[in-house]
Amino acid sequence: MPILSLAAREKISKSKRGSKNPAWKGGKITVFCSQCGKKLKRWPVVIQKNKSKLFFCNRKCKANYEASARLGSKGPFYKHGEYSRIGICKTCNREFERNRKGRKAKYCSQKCRPKPGYLYIKGRRFEYKAISLLKKMGFQVVFRSPRSRGMFDVFALRGNPSTKKIEEARYIQVKASRSSFPVKSIIPKQEREKIINNKTVIMLGKNTFYEIWVRRLNKKWDIYRLNWTSKEFEHLPKTKEI
């Protein structure tokens, strides 16, 4: 390729500047200062990234605008404002002191906070029902973790008394749900990843399974078993015991 001179390069660069450039998108857009109303020019990218849609010509205009906009209930030191330290509980209508992190707190305590309809509820009381089901299914040894401190709630073993060998082992997490949605919508992704990447599970032969038992409102169980190869929970067909 021939080497171009500096003069030729300058001519080419000038011919592709501004509106002559093929990537030209209109240039700067005129906006107005939110305080004094002065005309300003800003790039379209700057306007798109500006969430408040407020533009100022200098720091003085910005300071004057913020001083006037934060008067009354919008001020940080207003007694019962949104960001004030003292708030009024929406449930009991009592004054309470907010901490620095919870300046937007609306309730004075957990008792006054309304209980939302979560899809997932704690299934600690259903562990005993799961244990009784496991005994009906023929599991001889059933261990329940104290206070749900481990990664599993129930550990069950089934052995052959003649050979004295373990035939099946199950690590089970017991959950309860008010909905009929699958396990992906009941248990969050982070918790499922912790279960999959758990290193405390000891493989006791080929028939070692990690399962999630979900108790439904119709008093029936849905069992989801972890597939070690695909690392996903698969729904098992229901048996007579369940």
pLDDT in tens, 152-193: 788 888 888 788 788 888 888 888 777 677 776 667 777 777
The pLDDT of residue 233 = 81
Is 56 contained in some domain? yes
Most confident of the ranges 29-43, 67-81, 153-167: 29-43
**Is the pTM above the cut of 0.85?**
no
Q: What average pLDDT does range 9-28 have in this prediction? A: 77
Query: Which candidate, 151, 170, 165, places its Cα nearest to that of 209?
Result: 170
For residue 147, what pLDDT band results from cuts at 50, 70 and 90?
A: low
Say how many domains are in the chain: 3
Do 198 and 91 fall into the same domain?
A: no
pLDDT grade for 122, boundaries at 50, 70 and 90: very low
Claim to verify: residue 225 and residue 175 sit in the same structural domain? yes
State whether 103 and 149 are in the same domain.
no
Strands 29-32 and 120-121: unpaired
- The share of the chain scoring above pLDDT 90, in percent, equals 6
Return all residues near 99 (Cβ < 8 A) that are at least 6 apart.
105
pLDDT value of residue 114: 65
* Per-residue pLDDT, 118: 39
Q: Give the whole-angstrom CA distance, residue 241 versus residue 131.
A: 12
Please state, as a whole number, how many other Cβ atoms lie within 10 Å of the Cβ of residue 123: 20
> Could you tell me the CATH number of the domain that includes residue 206?
3.40.1350.10
Same-domain pairing of 173 and 215: yes
10 Å Cβ neighbour count for 131?
A: 19
14 three-class SS = helix
User: For residue 119, what pLDDT is reported?
Assistant: 40
The separation between CA 49 and the C-alpha centre of its own chain, rounded to angstroms, equals 24
Q: Is residue 126 part of a domain?
A: yes
Mark whether 138 and 196 lie in a shared domain: yes
Residues 130 and 228 both lie in one domain: yes
Which residue segment(s) compose the domain that 150 sits in? 120-235
Of the candidates 28, 50, 52, the one whose C-alpha atom is nearest the C-alpha of residue 40 is: 28
